[in-house]
């Protein structure tokens, strides 16, 4: 008789899981030493400490820095708890430090409490409640991420005479960058890259709004300037205070080397090929800032085998551990002399240079790239 297979979603055995965890941690230590530990402390500092406190730490000697860092981290963690959990944590810590037992009698029944064990139980309860909140939030973000992935294209468009490559990677579970394409008719295809201010869930919600608005107006007759004015009025009307988005929208026609383009507050796209990258004209203001903003359509003709590169500010403003930015100069260096490369090869060259520069620094912003290359 064949042995029954374990249920796919069965809960793992505790000691077996711990054994695997120990092996995993050991492998990480052999591979990277204690660098993950130092990264953990840097991440704690980034999350819990203000810019003013981080600057004060930088001016302290190592011993004083460690004392203040520990105190500030504990205080910040404590203040982020709810009122009830703060009280429970304080009571639990006091009980842990209190030796002895307490007895209560009720009729013929006597209850005995071990103070330190009761304190540990309270602290564990606080940890369990915090973990519960984290897991619920993670599940909601996972659901949001699944919805966002479903809204974004799973492949690049196939257009006669054009080679295209699309890429987006959010800094958090969900992001505010929009990379999308839409077939307008048999000959024309629209490709868009949008960048909503900020990141995380608020930016992702506005990104979904922007995508829906663009798709609603994409097939309407009229110039791209008229389309820009319509989209801007919707985003300005429905957006949150101080929210805005930059946007590049281009229309490619099969078999033609000319494309039309609308730029709303975004960094000018770069034309790349055999020579140095060339910057296109700047466009109108970002979406959502001014209801009466005006936009105009640009017409760009690419030479055979030249490419147009559109990127979000998460590329040029990506930072390493020292706070240094990737910058336009490094981006242009990565895009120098790309003649003969496909759209995907051009994009992956930029990503490779970006990853080599950033190293193990945490993501600063969403990263998005669109490359369209004329094939002949």
Distance between CA 241 and CA 226 in Å, rounded?
24
Task: Indicate the angle between helix axes 62-79 and 35-48, nearest 10 degrees.
Answer: 60
pLDDT in tens, 204-262: 888 888 999 999 999 887 899 999 999 999 999 887 777 899 999 999 999 898 999 99
* pLDDT at res. 359: 86
C-alpha count within 13 angstroms, C-beta hemisphere, residue 358: 21
pLDDT in tens, 4-63: 444 445 566 778 888 888 888 777 777 766 666 677 777 777 778 888 888 888 888 889
| 74-88 mean pLDDT | 89
E strand or H helix at 233:
helix 224-238
**Would strands 109-114 and 162-169 be described as parallel, antiparallel, or unpaired?**
unpaired
C-alpha count within 13 angstroms, C-beta hemisphere, residue 75: 9
pLDDT at 102 over 50: yes
Global pTM reads 0.73
| 345-360 mean pLDDT | 93
* pLDDT at res. 3: 41
Candidates 1.10.760.10, 3.40.50.1110, 3.60.40.10, 3.40.605.10; CATH matching 154-374: 3.60.40.10
* pLDDT at res. 6: 45
Question: If you compute the radius of gyration of the chain from its CA atoms, what whole number of angstroms results?
Answer: 27
Distance between CA 174 and CA 149 in Å, rounded?
9
b/e per residue, 46-76, with b = 16+ CB within 10 A? Answer: eebbeeebeeebeeeeeeeeeeebeebbeee
Other CB atoms within a 10 A radius of the CB of residue 104 amount to 9
More confident residue, 114 or 353: 353
- CA angle 240–369–291, rounded 5-degree value: 30
More confident residue, 18 or 341: 341
Parts of the chain belonging to CATH 3.60.40.10: 154-374
* pLDDT at res. 5: 41
Read off the tokens for 243.
Answer: 């929210």
pLDDT at 272 over 60: yes
**Percent share of the chain, pLDDT over 90:** 46
* pLDDT at res. 106: 66
pLDDT in tens, 290-330: 989 999 999 999 999 999 999 999 999 998 888 899 999 99
CA dihedral 57, 59, 65, 69 (to 10 degrees): -10
* pLDDT at res. 2: 40
E strand or H helix at 36:
helix 35-48
């Amino acid at each position: 008789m064949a042995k029954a297979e374990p249920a796919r979603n069965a809960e793992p055995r505790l000691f077996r899981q711990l054994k695997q965890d120990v092996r995993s941690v050991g492998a990480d230590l052999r591979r990277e030493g204690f660098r993950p530990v130092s990264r953990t402390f840097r991440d704690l500092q980034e999350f819990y400490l203000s810019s003013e406190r981080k600057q004060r730490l930088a001016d302290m000697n190592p011993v004083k820095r460690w004392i203040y860092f520990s105190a500030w981290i504990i205080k910040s963690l404590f203040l982020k708890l709810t009122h009830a959990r703060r009280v429970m944590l304080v009571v639990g810590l006091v009980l842990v430090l209190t030796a002895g037992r307490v007895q209560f009698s009720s009729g013929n029944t006597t209850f005995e409490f071990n103070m330190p064990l009761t304190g540990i139980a309270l602290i564990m309860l606080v940890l369990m409640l915090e973990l519960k909140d984290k897991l619920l939030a993670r599940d909601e973000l996972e659901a949001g991420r699944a919805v966002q992935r479903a809204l974004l294209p799973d492949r690049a468009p196939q257009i006669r005479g054009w080679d295209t490559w699309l890429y987006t990677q959010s800094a958090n579970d969900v992001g505010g960058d929009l990379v999308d394409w839409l077939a307008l008719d048999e000959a024309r295809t629209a490709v868009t890259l949008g960048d909503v201010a900020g990141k995380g869930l608020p930016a992702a919600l506005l990104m979904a709004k922007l995508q829906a608005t663009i798709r609603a107006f994409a097939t309407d007759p009229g110039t791209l300037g008229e389309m820009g004015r319509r989209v801007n009025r919707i985003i300005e009307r429905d957006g949150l205070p101080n929210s805005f988005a930059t946007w590049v929208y281009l229309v490619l026609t099969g078999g033609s080397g000319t494309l039309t383009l609308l730029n709303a507050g975004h960094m000018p796209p770069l034309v790349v090929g055999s020579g140095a990258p060339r910057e296109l004209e700047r466009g109108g203001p970002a979406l959502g800032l001014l209801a009466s903003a005006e936009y105009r359509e640009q017409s760009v003709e690419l030479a055979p085998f030249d490419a147009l590169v559109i990127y979000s500010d998460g590329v040029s403003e990506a930072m390493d551990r020292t706070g240094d930015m990737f910058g336009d100069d490094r981006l242009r260096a990565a895009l120098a002399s790309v003649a003969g490369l496909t759209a995907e090869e051009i994009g992956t060259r930029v990503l490779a240079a970006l990853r080599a520069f950033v190293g193990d620094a945490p993501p600063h912003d969403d990263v998005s790239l669109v490359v369209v290359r004329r094939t002949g």
